[in-house]
Chain A
């Protein structure tokens, strides 16, 4: 099983092509094949992860060209976490898409292509290879966003494509600068060579700036987030959940990889300005993301802005760059993926059951649809950071790291972020539990189906349809996981210890 790392990237691509070909013979064969591929992916990812959480990372040289000349795959605690997260989330979302759709074979082929891109980004130890996987991820994500009905999803996808391409191109330009400075593309080798060139060299500084700017676009950090709310809000519900849980998460992982493995903490120490840029991006994202989230009337838009604020927290932890904060960043990345993916799925479930899509329509939801209201409440409280949920543990570690590093301004913003998160979730929770349902038209009523279908047909999502057991199970599973992961998070932090020590050495 030494060939496991490249197989984890190749298997979803193979599955994707198979689904596309199967679609030529028989339509709607995509779902079972995608489930099969995802189950295989989960198995492989877990098998790889058991080997990666050791004292030594798993290294694999592609095609027999030895590093630093060939492409190297490197699996340590961080990448293993991402690979398992991608595999598990993609399988979980599939349970939801069976009834909720989209159902075409092309959709599932693209879906697996996105899994392959994300897995590749997590595993690679070569910066140009990372760019290629970044673009594969991007292309698949643009196509998935456009799989919604109506023109608005196509428009959102085009906007996402244009902004995302500029981000990825800046990343490529940053790679160019690093290559000019050192003549290598291997991450481990780059770390040594960049140190030899000198951390204050303009070429190295420019390279850092461009790489970080490119990844900021992909993570959706505040001033360059413009693609994200439209893309999340106009995509089909299952796609919103899938993309919000994984795409920015893996981009944030890539930022950690670039900052710690390629440039190392010594670079941050030598360039106070570089660290300030990261801190500023984090603080502005946390504050403005939350403020914009409070102002939204549509629920999916609100959740999208909430992601900007939560990723500010992760970027902040990377800027602090000590063991506690980075552990917190990883826990929060995993936790956010489960919580935000779950919230989007809950939104989709509620819309399918009752037709409610705006904050106002959530009035008195607990009477109409207790399951949806309950899951939403659990996930919202987890996101705010109520112990023992995973949202609490992640934020706690990051805040503790900020205090340890004596980064007081950032520490204040991180603590305030909890209140800010509460600000936008509290108003939804209040409406769900303490208000009467507004209009009888919004209740579940077969006669009202037609009316709600018209509301939903304007491109904001698919029309209300019967919900399936799989959809409910996926939502309940995320709510349970959001709490259960919080209990296991401390052990996971200890498991990561050796990896993070090596990363920050």
Chain B
């Protein structure tokens, strides 16, 4: 078990992040914390891709470096996924600002009460 943990540490970290993110998305009533949870969830996936591409003792994929090389493709994919994640966060925060203007709170339960109230 300990050996598995030490050789696969980054994979454990990636899936721990997925778990923490999911828990924050579901368990938190605060909308901003939900958005943070979504970010942590995505970070877990980014880490997973980067770990997958890593080769022990390999050099960066440059012609001047000597083989074996680290696989560059997952890095490129994750660069794109990070851009997507930033835009999602921007849209989410924009919506959060609008919700706060409308209801004066970011607490999900309190918003529920406001909607039921009027």
**Real complex partners, A and B?**
yes
Distance (Å) between the CB of B80 and the closest chain A CB?
A: 6
Q: A176 and B49: CB pair below 8 A?
A: yes
Q: In the complex, are the beta carbons of A146 and B98 less than 8 A apart?
A: yes
- Contact present for A154 and B88 (CB under 8 Å): no
Question: Known contacts A135-B88, A139-B88, A179-B74: does B52 contact A154 (CB below 8 Å)?
Answer: no
Give the interface size bracket for B toward A. Answer: 20 to 34
- Residues in chain B near residue A151, CB distance under 8 A: 98-99, 101-103, 111
In the assembled complex, B110 has its CB within 8 A of some CB on chain A? no
- The dominant DSSP class at the A interface is helix
Interface residues of B in 67-85 (CB under 8 A from A): 73-74, 77, 80-81, 84
Closest residue of B by beta carbon distance from A150: B102
Provide the B29-52 mask, 1 if CB < 8 A to any CB of A, else 0: 001001100100110010011001
Query: Assuming A166-B22, A166-B25, A179-B52, is B95 touching A158 (CB within 8 A)?
Result: yes
Cβ–Cβ contact A172 & B81, under 8 A: yes
In the bound complex, residues from chain B placing their C-beta under 8 Å from that of A169 are 41-42, 45
Report A-chain residues with C-beta under 8 Å of the C-beta of B74.
176, 179
Query: Is the beta-carbon distance between A155 and B111 smaller than 8 angstroms?
Result: yes
Partner of A172, one of B35, B45, B73, B87: B45
Known: A166-B38, A169-B45, A172-B45. A155 touches B99 (CB 8 A): yes
Contact assessment for B81 and A161 in the assembled complex, using a CB-CB cutoff below 8 Å: no
Query: Which B residues touch A135, using CB under 8 A?
Result: 84, 87-88
**A154: which B residues are within 8 A, CB to CB?**
95, 98-99, 102
Q: Does B115 contact A (CB under 8 A)?
A: yes
A176-B42 in contact given A154-B102, A161-B95 (Cβ < 8 Å): no
Specify which chain A residues have a CB less than 8 angstroms from the CB of B87 in the assembled complex: 135, 139
Distance (whole angstroms) from the CB of B50 to the closest CB of chain A: 10
| CB neighbours of B45 from chain A (8 A) | 169, 172-173, 176
Q: Is the interface of B mostly helix, strand, loop or mixed?
A: helix
The size of the chain A interface, using a CB distance under 8 A, is 27
Cα(A82)–Cα(B75), bound, Å: 32
The answer on a CB contact under 8 Å between A142 and B77 is: no
What's the minimum C-beta distance from A175 to chain B, rounded to whole angstroms?
Answer: 8
Complex CA distance for A176 and B74, rounded to whole angstroms = 8
B63 within 8 A of A: no
B4 close to A (CB within 8 Å): no
Report the separation of the CA atoms of residues A161 and B90 in the bound assembly, to the nearest whole angstrom.
Answer: 11
Nearest CB of A to B14, in Å? 10
The reply to whether the CB of A130 lies closer than 8 angstroms to some CB of chain B is: no
Instruction: Give the shortest distance, in Å, between B22 (CB) and chain A (any CB).
Output: 7
B77 CB contact (under 8 Å) in A128, A139, A150 = A128
Those of A126-172 within 8 Å (CB) of chain B: 128, 131-132, 135, 138-139, 142-143, 146, 150-152, 154-155, 157-158, 161-162, 165-166, 169, 172
Contact A161 B49 (CB under 8 A): no
| Inter-chain contact B95/A146, CB cutoff 8 Å | yes
Highest count of chain A CB atoms <10 Å: which of B25, B91, B103: B91
Q: Which residue of B lies closest to A170 (CB)?
A: B45
- Cβ of B118 < 8 Å from any Cβ of A? yes
Q: What's the Cα separation between A36 and B84 when bound, in Å?
A: 29
* A295 at interface by CB-CB < 8 Å: no
A266 at the interface (CB under 8 A from B): no
A169 to B38, CA, bound (A): 10
Which of A142, A152, A176 is the one whose CB lies under 8 Å from B91? Answer: A142
Bound CA–CA A154/B41 (angstroms): 22
User: Smallest distance from the beta carbon of A118 to chain B beta carbons, Å?
Assistant: 16
A141 to B102 alpha-carbon distance, docked (Å): 21
Q: A139 → chain B, closest Cβ, in Å?
A: 6
Once bound together, how far apart are the Cα atoms of A273 and B62, in whole Å? 44
A166 to B38, CA, bound (A): 7
A4 at the interface (CB under 8 A from B): no
User: Given contacts A143-B91, A165-B42, A176-B49, are A158 and B80 in contact (CB under 8 A)?
Assistant: no
CA distance A180 to B118 in the complex (A): 53
For A56, what are the chain B residues with a Cβ–Cβ distance below 8 Å?
none
Residues of A within 8 Å of B41, CB to CB, are 165-166, 169
Cβ–Cβ contact B98 & A161, under 8 A: no
- Closest chain B residue, CB of each to CB of A131: B81
**Cα of A131 to Cα of B45 in the assembled complex, Å:** 13
Q: Chain A residues near B102: list those with CB within 8 A.
A: 150-151, 154
List chain A residues, Cβ under 8 A from B34: 162
Shortest distance from the beta carbon of B16 to any chain A beta carbon, whole Å = 14
- Assembly CA distance A176 to B25 (angstroms): 22
Cβ 8 A contact of A158, one of B73, B84, B92, B101: B92
Q: Known contacts A135-B84, A146-B98; can you find 10 more A-B pairs with CB under 8 A?
A: A139-B87, A139-B88, A146-B95, A152-B115, A155-B99, A158-B96, A158-B99, A161-B92, A176-B45, A176-B74
A-B contact pairs, 8 of them (CB 8 A): A132-B84, A151-B101, A151-B103, A161-B95, A165-B38, A166-B41, A169-B41, A179-B52
Residues of B within 8 A of A (CB): 22, 25, 31, 34-35, 38, 41-42, 45, 48-49, 52, 73-74, 77, 80-81, 84, 87-88, 91-92, 95-96, 98-99, 101-103, 111, 115, 118
Q: Which 3 A-B pairs have the closest CB atoms?
A: A151-B102, A154-B98, A158-B95
